[in-house]
Amino acid sequence: MSKQTKPITQVMSDLFPNSAKVLSEQLSTEQFNSFTTDASEAAARIEALQDGNKQMKADLEAAVTRATTAEASLKDLQGKHSTLEAEANGLKETNGKLQGWYDNHKAAIDSSTSKADASEGEGALPEKIAKLSANHPNRIAYEMTVANAAKRKAK
């Protein structure tokens, strides 16, 4: 895209609206030509600054848009974080309750198994289990529980 340049008469009237005619009448041709060259250079610098300002304004608008988008994303993520944090706290509480239940249950099973083992001697079955046939599911389950407990103790 080619840049449109203004003629010097337009630049003079833009930069010096009240004195452009007086300058052209009062100065000699050589002085006026020198002045118009200086004015043209000043006009070029001003246009360059204006172009730079336009680019800076566009960059600023883009940065503001990115910042606004980032703020919206941050607010959304903070909301999700709060929700997940509350969920995690609820799960920790539930886990604590379940761990307590598990520990109590395990302690009860271990104490009842150790009492049964101590009172009945090595390899002896409780009276209730001894009455069941060898293929009865409760007897098989009990024997497996005792065998697993023995393996855990051996470790």
Q: Could you give the residue ranges of the DSSP H alpha helices within the chain?
A: 8-15, 20-26, 29-120, 127-130, 137-154
Residue 11 has pLDDT above 80, yes or no: no
Q: How far, in Å, CA of 131 to CA of 120, rounded?
A: 15
CA distance to 45, 51, 83, per residue, from 80 (Å): 52, 44, 5
87-133 pLDDT tens trace: 999 999 999 999 988 888 888 887 776 665 555 555 566 666 766 77
25-45 pLDDT tens trace: 777 888 878 888 888 888 888
At position 129, the amino acid (one-letter code) is I
Contact present, 11 and 39 (Cβ < 8 Å):
yes
Higher pLDDT, 155 or 63: 63
Higher pLDDT, 152 or 55: 55
Give the list of residues 6+ apart from residue 126 with CB closer than 8 angstroms, or none: 116, 120, 142
71-84 pLDDT tens trace: 999 999 999 999 99
Residue 1 has pLDDT above 50, yes or no: no
Q: How far, in Å, CA of 149 to CA of 113, rounded?
A: 8
- Mean pLDDT of the 138-148 span: 81
A 10 A CB-CB count for 155 gives: 4
pLDDT for residue 17? 67
Give the list of residues 6+ apart from residue 15 with CB closer than 8 angstroms, or none: 39, 42, 43
Residue with tokens 């004015």: 39
pLDDT for residue 75? 93
pLDDT for residue 125? 66
Residue 143 has pLDDT above 70, yes or no: yes
Count the residues in the chain: 155
Q: Could you give the residue ranges of the DSSP H alpha helices within 16-28?
A: 20-26
* 144 phi, psi to nearest 5 deg: -65, -40
